[in-house]
Amino acid sequence: MKIIVLGSAAGGGFPQWNCNCRNCNGVRNGSINARARTQSSIAVSSNDSDWVLINASPDILTQIRANPALQPARGKRDTGIAAVMLMDAQIDHVTGLLMLREGKPLPLYCTSAVWDDLTGGLPLVHVLSHYCGVQWHMLAVNHTAAPVELPQIADISFTPLSLSSKAPPYSPHREMPQPGDNLGLVIEDRKTGKKVFYAPGLGEIEPHVLKAMHAADCILVDGTFWTADEMIQLGFSKKMAADMGHLPQSGKGGMIEVLDAIPAKRKVLIHINNTNPILDENSAERETLAQHGIEVAFDGMEITL
């Protein structure tokens, strides 16, 4: 299987339009060694021409232009995007659906909780019904749920894992998190048996999550924040990383410590917020990651397993 990282930044992208933090300023004026990044999304394929888009970022059109593999040009109108699968209903992961409205009805794989948000607090599904429309395939999140297979994506199975996290700020149930608000995903190549554990928003390492991480050959996880109070320290927000459903990399019980105990060959951080010092490739924090064998995803990164 092949995974293309279409977008590696968290909500807002990098640089964020209205931000003048050290990183955003630095990448704009070239004073730091960093690359710009679009908002978090990956594409997965087993044949390099039919892809499942995992999360639909508001930057999807830029991402498609940057990745010709997503346009195999088999007809006058065509797309390599065979289906869309959502990990949550956050704005940075769903609003790209609107940009796909000129195409055929979109097969959309998401949980009931996410579907409720997309037909309620952020009714994209109703809006799209006046354009291409969507075909909902419900992702179940109970522990006996079978792996999901998609018709066009041969030999790859997708197993959703329910994560204890947060619903989006606009969600009618934002104060009452529900199973299925946030997913992790085990992506398995059934021919080779290789597995990727994917979770761009991961706030808590629950036992079933740890088990899936241990069984994976490659980990592609939440790299949003370096510190638990990063947004507060910079004066940008009153929210801690945990309030937003993100586990920071540094500190006791942080992502570095978690990943240190995992045998996976590749450990890659994705969904990186523009404030995170790891975006500066010359930073001490980036060096620390390198010492722990942890990579930082970038737009266009390919992972083949």
The two most distant CA atoms of the chain are separated, in Å, by 54
Considering the complex, what minimum distance in angstroms separates the CB of residue 245 from ligand MLT?
6
11 interacts with ligand MLT by CB under 6 A: yes
Q: Which of 273, 202, 264, 288 is nearest to 236 (CA)?
A: 273
Cα(198)–Cα(260) distance, integer angstroms: 17
The residues of the shown chain that bind Mn ion, judged by CB under 5 A, are 10-11, 90, 92
Q: Residue 244's binding partner, choosing from Mn ion, ligand MLT, Zn ion, none, with beta-carbon cut-off 5 to 8 A by kind?
A: ligand MLT
12 interacts with ligand MLT by CB under 6 A: yes
> Of 36 and 91, which CB lies nearer to ligand MLT in the complex structure?
91
Binding part of the chain for ligand MLT, among 9-17, 22-30, 56-64, 124-132 by CB under 6 A, reads 9-17
What residues between 91 and 130 interact with ligand MLT by CB under 6 A? 91-92
Q: How many CA atoms lie within 13 A of 303 on its CB side?
A: 28
> Of 90 and 283, which CB lies nearer to Mn ion in the complex structure?
90
Binding part of the chain for Zn ion, among 73-81, 85-93, 171-179, 269-277 by CB under 5 A, reads 269-277
184 interacts with ligand MLT by CB under 6 A: no
Q: Which of 211, 206, 221, 201 is nearest to 266 (CA)?
A: 221
Considering the complex, what minimum distance in angstroms separates the CB of residue 225 from ligand MLT?
9
Cα(36)–Cα(26) distance, integer angstroms: 10
Q: Which of 38, 165, 182, 274 binds Zn ion (CB under 5 A)?
A: 274
Give me the residue whose beta carbon is nearest to ligand MLT. Answer: 11
What residues between 235 and 254 interact with ligand MLT by CB under 6 A? 244
| Rg from Cα positions in the chain | 18
For residue 32, give Cα distances in angstroms to 28, 134, 285. 9, 42, 14
Give the DSSP letter of residue 21: S
CB-CB contact of 246 with 201 (8 Å): yes
Q: Which of 1, 3, 4, 24 binds Zn ion (CB under 5 A)?
A: 24
CB-CB contact of 237 with 199 (8 Å): no
> Of 159 and 274, which CB lies nearer to ligand MLT in the complex structure?
274
Cα(305)–Cα(300) distance, integer angstroms: 16
The helix/strand/coil state of 134 is strand
Cα(275)–Cα(22) distance, integer angstroms: 8
What residues between 65 and 94 interact with ligand MLT by CB under 6 A? 90-92
Considering the complex, what minimum distance in angstroms separates the CB of residue 16 from Zn ion?
5
Residues lying near ligand MLT in the complex (CB under 6 A) are found at 10-12, 90-92, 201, 244
Residues lying near Zn ion in the complex (CB under 5 A) are found at 16, 19, 21, 24, 274
